[in-house]
Amino acid sequence: MNHFMTSIFLILTLQFTGVSSSLALADDSIFVIAGKNSSLPQITATDLKLIYLGQKSSLAGKPILIGQNESIQESFYATFTDKDMTAINQLWGIVIFTGKTDPPKNLKSDSEVIKFVNDDENAIGYVSKQPEGDSARVLAIQKSTTTTSK
């Protein structure tokens, strides 16, 4: 029995270490952006989470459109919502069914996300690399539990 408990401890330790490392990596390689001419404010971590979970559809009184880079969406959701893709797909299925808000637009690359946010001043998205020059504005994510208007 002692050998069994040691094996379980080792497995849990390895899983914890792996998750912790991947979250740190994802956090450093994901940038939340708005268009270069956007009037959107900085965003709180809570607002970002609620928007990408379909529980909030506006910022500063303006409707928000959301785009996502399909190639990094798993890392994004794990980092910013603490949910896996199965849970995310279930949540969005409910949100879409109820007509509460539109789902994120799936985009294939960082350049498509940058184009998407520049086509609408109320759009946000996320990319895997910091945008070059003034092609888009990186939103500062404030560590806050307060939210702006819903």
Question: pLDDT for 92-136, tens place per residue?
Answer: 999 999 998 999 999 999 999 999 999 999 999 999 999 999 899
pLDDT per position as a tens digit, 15-51: 332 322 222 233 458 999 999 999 886 899 999 999 9
C-alpha–C-alpha distance, residues 27 and 2, integer Å: 38
Range of the domain at 128: 30-142
Judge whether 71 lies within some domain: yes
3-state helix, strand, coil in the chain (%, to 5): 45, 20, 35
In a domain, 23, yes or no: no
31 Cβ contact list (under 8 Å, min separation 6): 126, 127, 128, 129, 130, 131, 138
Asked if residue 80 is part of any domain, the answer here is yes
Residue 24, in any domain of the structure: no
pTM over 0.85: no
Report yes or no on 128 lying in a domain.
Answer: yes
Identify the pLDDT of residue 41. Answer: 66
Tell me what pLDDT residue 145 has: 53
pLDDT tens digits for 51-82? 999 999 998 888 999 999 999 999 999 999 99
Q: What is the pLDDT of residue 80?
A: 94
> How many domains, in total, are found in the chain?
1
Would you state the pLDDT for residue 51?
95
Q: Is residue 150 part of a domain?
A: no
Q: Provide the pLDDT for residue 52.
A: 96
77, part of any domain = yes
* pLDDT for res 105: 95
Q: What is the CATH number of the domain that holds 108?
A: 3.40.190.10
Q: Is 13 helix (H, G, I), strand (E, B) or coil?
A: helix
**Mean pLDDT of the 82-99 span:** 94
Q: Is residue 8 part of a domain?
A: no
Q: For the residues 85-98, what does the mean pLDDT come to?
A: 95
Which pLDDT score is estimated for 40? Answer: 81
